[in-house]
Amino acid sequence: MSVVKDFRDFIARGNVVDLAVGVIIGAAFGKIVSSLVSDILMPPIGLLMGKVDFSGLFLALNGNHYDTLAAAKAAGAPTLNYGVFLNNVIDFAIVAFVIFIIVRQVAKLVPKAPAATKDCPRCVSKIPVAATKCPHCTADI
């Protein structure tokens, strides 16, 4: 019964629940970003580049030519799907940028820890903030 109690205590900790919530929100955010890239960003970019659908860009490794990725997969041909990879790289870049912005903003909100040391005005050595006499040069602070 100790294992069940230990497991219940583990799950009841706040940071485990926070982690679970973060993973769920992250997965949902990933789906939104994937949709943004494949449905909103890539179609206009593909249009500007000559009506190219990036998700359909592939290279058949067996040397045969296929009109679409679906046709190559139906024929059982091994393919190198570099268009899908490109979409995933763009997904990653957007997610990484958004996480960077969030972390940067949170860092601005978190108060900075007070300084633990200060400089002695006479010898410029590091001394504790609460010190009233420098241990290096014995100057009164």
The 3-state secondary structure of the chain reads CHHHHHHHHHHHCHHHHHHHHHHHHHHHHHHHHHHHHHHHHHHHHHHHCCCCCHHHCCEECCCCCCCCHHHHHHCCCCEECHHHHHHHHHHHHHHHHHHHHHHHHHHHHCCCCCCCEEECCCCCCEEECCCCECCCCCCEC
- Say yes or no: 82 and 119 in one domain: no
- Say yes or no: 75 and 140 in one domain: no
- Say yes or no: 99 and 131 in one domain: no
Q: Which two tokens stand for residue 33?
A: 């970003």
Q: Which two tokens stand for residue 50?
A: 């000559």
User: For position 75, which CATH number holds?
Assistant: 1.10.1200.120
What is the domain count for the chain?
Answer: 2
pLDDT of the residue at 11: 73
- Say yes or no: 97 and 135 in one domain: no
pLDDT of the residue at 23: 87
- Say yes or no: 93 and 123 in one domain: no
pLDDT of the residue at 14: 66
Quote the domain boundaries for residue 16. 2-110
User: pLDDT tens digits, the chain, 141 residues: what are they?
Assistant: 688 888 877 777 767 777 888 888 888 888 888 888 778 887 887 788 777 777 788 888 998 999 888 899 899 999 988 888 888 888 888 888 888 888 898 888 888 778 788 999 888 899 998 888 898 888 888
- Say yes or no: 71 and 119 in one domain: no
pLDDT of the residue at 1: 64
Look up the pTM and report it: 0.56
